[in-house]
Chain A
């Protein structure tokens, strides 16, 4: 009997049910009363806020009990087939309740922000319906007690992501971006499915509890089976969490409304991959190869995406590449076995990246309003149209600076502790495995670039002279309080978030221990000496400061020209501006051949050639030929019929008499 039975943890179903009910009501309102914005807002924000309240109650119950085993609440048996029995069950433990709090908390703030951001949109009710559905699926994902339930959430958030990226589907570019996200994710999801099949064939169950208890006995540590399972699962994570080589969908996903980018494509959905690795930590810890792949891909992505972020002009694109890069850090964390550190960075990142995106959303909202007022069609997301916005938007500028310092790793903000812990763990692993020294170096270089590109974003957006336009300037001003309010709450969380896992106080570590202790026993210890730890901290903080300092010295916001008059880039900066031409590369190497294969070989060759001509028309031709033969017998002459009849009758008689 779990100590959680009979406590608030029994209400876990409500956490999924509430936002889903919100989706149903808002979905109905989208058809029946699309203009009833007040009701839509109340239902949309209220359902998620109520979910957060449930989350807090469950969290308090878990704190009180601190169970060593997850508490699984089964609702019904979903798929009973032979040996396979999948139950629709949700799980309460330290990890899932942490995710529950983060997801529902950040969602509540972003829903509130959306009231202001989407206020004039004709699809207001539809927007909140999708957003509520997203929260419901995200909670299924993080609360599911077995792989199939998690997968339902996994695919559901993918669906909502698609719907919300293509929210303004009248513009083909945006609809295409949604499609791209969906298709790229399919590649990863195929890997996830194969991983699940392998788990079932080797371990005979898909329940988290069974899989993770049986794995150490049933599988050989470091063997091929567990490595294959871990790598296929990681393939799903690569797609969902936008890592190399499947990261290309995330920058395009910025086509959706900005609060969506904040919620889905920064704070919650894209971190699902990190959550999955942390959840299945025992499988990854058993395979050193999988660990190295996870950390290696993370390190490469962290550095690679950060360099692209250096040269983007679209404010949301900078943040998108920054998200990809930060997700890389989380994978370094879970790859080197510092699962708590990875989750810690996931939580802090959810705060400061949601803050950055919402801040960018406010800026875009204000600029858009100004351009709308004067009727000019300029890009409201291009930083070359911004500049000097700290004056009309003081609160947005202040909170954005807080988030920037946090992501740059300046103490004592949240990002400093989480990033530093990840890099420290990578450095500690390097003592026994030199490969991780490279991971650490990549991470450190990425941290420096992060500080630089974030300072660049802040300088170009909020400082220097204003480039919005002389007519538009009087229309600039602070966004409404319903938008700045959530920003201030998130800023407070960004400042205080580091407290949950201070070094040597380490509450999050102890908190997650029941889930990670067995894999921690398999891995080399990750405790660097205090001297090393302090040195690493100083180095990391110094690099952050250096990045910001360099940006203020090198960049000249005053010399920046609007996009239409900007000089052409050359050399390496051009390559960065064009994102290393990876999209073009994929188009030439994968998309074109695939389309060619589909169109020429499969459509014209196999479909039109083999199936239509030989199969469908061929069988028709055979039937027609046989019919022609048969019709030759029908002469229309009664005489012939009689002859045939008599001959037949004689033949039958002969056969009978013989």
Chain B
């Protein structure tokens, strides 16, 4: 059974995604890291569905749908920000500083 390696891969992918979001500055890359995390979770769902039934696989479809919608909105925001500020470097986008 591939359960343990699958979960290990999923944990690694998720950690890479988190680290990427924390450390990278380019909005597109951060965006991709978020997708990475979502897919790490999808992998966990699929791996566990072998033992726990098909619910996990159904849930994956929902996650993918939400991820697609999120990608559309997120990329639109990135483009809008780029048009205004000529950059997608998040260090230069700090309007919310207190």
Contacts and interface: CB of A to CB of B under 8 A. Distances in A.
A637 B22 contact: no
Given A633-B98, A636-B96, A642-B22, 6 more contacts: A635-B97, A637-B90, A639-B23, A639-B90, A639-B91, A643-B22
Interface in B47-98: 90-91, 93-98
Interface string A343-374: 00000000000000000000000000000000
A632 interface: yes
Interface of B: 18, 21-23, 25, 30, 90-91, 93-98
Interface string A624-652: 00000011111111110011001000000
A209 to B, nearest CB: 73
Chain A residues touching B, majority SS:
helix
A544 B39 CA distance: 120
B98 A630 contact: yes
Nearest to A631: B98
Contacts of B96: 634, 636
Contact of B21 (A630, A632, A633, A642): A642
A646 B98 contact: no
B7 to A, nearest CB: 16
B77 to A, nearest CB: 12
Contact of B94 (A630, A637, A642): A637
A635 B98 CA distance: 6
Those 10 A-B pairs whose CB atoms lie nearest each other, nearest first? A636-B94, A636-B97, A631-B98, A634-B98, A636-B96, A638-B90, A642-B22, A642-B21, A643-B22, A635-B97
B97 A639 contact: no
Contacts of B93: 636, 638
A639 B98 contact: no
A569 to B, nearest CB: 79
Interface of A: 630-639, 642-643, 646
Nearest to B94: A636
A630 B97 CA distance: 11
A442 B96 CA distance: 88
A658 B96 CA distance: 36
B49 to A, nearest CB: 22
Contacts of B21: 642
Contacts of B95: 636
B59 to A, nearest CB: 20
A631 B97 CA distance: 8
B97 A638 contact: no
Contacts of B94: 635-637
A636 B96 CA distance: 4
A654 to B, nearest CB: 16
Which of B23, B90, B91, B98 has the most chain A CB atoms inside 10 A of its CB? B98
B23 A632 contact: no
Contacts of A642: 18, 21-22
Contacts of A637: 90-91, 94, 97
A633 B96 CA distance: 11
A631 B96 CA distance: 10
A632 B98 contact: yes
A642 B91 CA distance: 13
Contacts of A636: 93-98
Nearest to A632: B98
A634 to B, nearest CB: 3
B18 to A, nearest CB: 6
B30 A638 contact: yes
A416 B98 CA distance: 91
Residue of A631, A632, A633, A636 most packed against chain B (CB within 10 A): A636
Contacts of A632: 98
A638 B26 CA distance: 11
B95 to A, nearest CB: 6
A630 B98 CA distance: 8
A637 B97 CA distance: 7
A624 to B, nearest CB: 13
12 contacts: A631-B98, A634-B96, A634-B98, A635-B97, A635-B98, A636-B93, A638-B30, A638-B90, A639-B22, A639-B25, A639-B90, A642-B18
B90 A646 contact: no
Contacts of B91: 637, 639
Contacts of A635: 94, 97-98
